[in-house]
Structure 1
């Protein structure tokens, strides 16, 4: 029996499931030797640990930003996020041969995470616009590649307050005279948990859905602990520029949080407590383009009422000379 085959059999019982309890290579070698057949050097074992940790089918994973190994969990099913769920059923949730309770539970997680990202953006002086109609049951599967879950508008003129309204208006006017956009549109795609089996699809959907904006970002709820996964995302970022980040909210924590409606309507102190539970981690910074693809935006406006609403909202802010949060009409 080869060394790799033996390790594949032995490691699941020796590795901790929690990345925070990761076992160092030296200790793992000691434990493996107690059950291993054959005389292999430490260097050979360390080499196999490293190679196998980059293989999504192997049981061993290496922690990101640290030392040690842990047991890689089973591939996350499509129910881990709204778009994965829609992709699995091609927009028809009733076609899923799955436990209805599991489907509802998965969708509730996604609703919560949407609400968290929206509140996080607002607290940090950013202005989110949500796409919803593009992802309803019956929507074409191609919408996954055309529309982001959120477009976040960053105004370059100050906070959403009445105190500096005159200055904001003058800044908007100045940028218009100079031919500069007074805002930046960032397309954001949300996922619950990253996986070596699906991160490329997540990334390229984000890239595709952000081509008409000035940049894109892929945002995960759960922390990214797997070094191979983080390295894979950074490699894609280096070539294509889409940012990647994690809110550091584990699945159990997400399940314990209030429902999405409670998060969106929370009192300031409750929102502050929620923000303290976020452990934001920038895996790779986005690269923003200077200009919007106006042709692509116009094409989306003609086929999407939501995109038309986005444009109307941004135009209203410019006409008023003041950034404000979007309110559905």
Structure 2
């Protein structure tokens, strides 16, 4: 039996499931050697740990920051069911089709995370626009590659406290003369759990859904703790430019949060307490383009009322000379 085959069988019980409790390589070598058949050097074992930690099918993963190894969770199988579940989880959840309570729980986590993302960017001076109809039940699965979950709008606003939402008239006029938009649009896709088995699909859906915008973001709820996963995301970012960020919210942390409606309507002190729970980690910064692909955006506008509402909202803000949060009158 090869060393790799032996390690695949031996390692799972030895590895902690929590990355924060990762085991050092020296200790893992000591424990593994007690069960191995054959004399293998420390260098050979370390080499195999390193190679296997980059394989999504292997049980061992290396922590992204720090030292040590932990047990990689198995990839979850596909599910056909609620479109909203599919949209925010790449169609990969446990088989919940006969467990309505589990489906409700998964949907609630997704809604909470979307609400957290909305409030976080509002607090940090950005203006989010959330897509919902594009991922409603009965919508085309192709929408996963065409529409973002959230568009983040950045405006040139005044510096004085009483002008915090007033658009800078000088910059507004200059950009209009130069034919430049007076805002930056970044299209974001949301995902609950990062996985070495599915990060490429996550990334390229985010890229596809943001081609018309000035930049793209892939936003994960859970922390990116696998070193191989983080490296893979950074390599894709270097070539294609989509930014990657984690909010540090595990499934348990999401379950502990109030309902989505309460998050969106929280008082300032409650919102501050919520922000304190986040562990924001920027994996890779987005590459921002100067221009919007207006032709592509116009094509989407003809397909989606939500895109029409987005354009109408932006136009109203420019006309008023003031950045205002989007209000869905529906």
Coarse TM-score class (shorter-chain normalised): over 0.9
The SS at the match of 1:219 is: strand
The residue number in structure 1 matching 2:136 is 136
SS, match of residue 163 in structure 2: coil
Q: Give the secondary structure class of the aligned counterpart of 1:185.
A: strand
Structure 1: distance between partners of 2:241 and 2:53: 26
CA shift for structure 1 position 173: 2.3
Structure 2 CA distance for partners of 1:192 and 1:167, relative to 1, 3 Å? closer
Match of 1:56 in 2: 56
1:271 — aligned with what? 271
- Indicate the residue corresponding to 1:188 in structure 2: 188
Cα separation, 1, equivalents of 2:124 and 2:130 = 17
CA–CA distance in structure 1, aligned partners of residues 240 and 121 of structure 2: 24
Structure 1 gap segments, 5+ residues each: 90-94
Count of residue pairs brought into register by the alignment: 324
Change (3 A) 1:108 1:159: farther
- 2:257 paired residue number: 257
Distance 2:25 2:62 in 1: 10
CA distance in 2 between partners of 1:40 and 1:54 (Å): 21
Contact 1:125–1:159 (CA<8 Å) still a contact in 2? no
Where does 1:161-310 land on structure 2 (aligned, <5 Å)? Answer: 162-163=162-163, 168-310=168-310
What TM-score comes out, normalization by structure 1 length? 0.93
Q: Is the Cα contact below 8 Å between 1:157 and 1:182 reproduced in 2?
A: no
Alignment of structure 1 residues 93-112 onto 2, 5 Å: 97-112=97-112
* CA deviation profile, 1:145-170 (whole Å, cap 9, x unmatched): 00000001001224797536666334
CA distance in structure 1 between the aligned counterparts of 2:34 and 2:128, rounded to whole angstroms:
55
Q: 1:326 to 1:159 in 2, by over 3 A?
A: farther
What is the aligned-residue RMSD (CA, Å)?
Answer: 2.1
Where do 5+ consecutive residues of structure 2 fail to align?
Answer: none
The match for 1:321 is 321
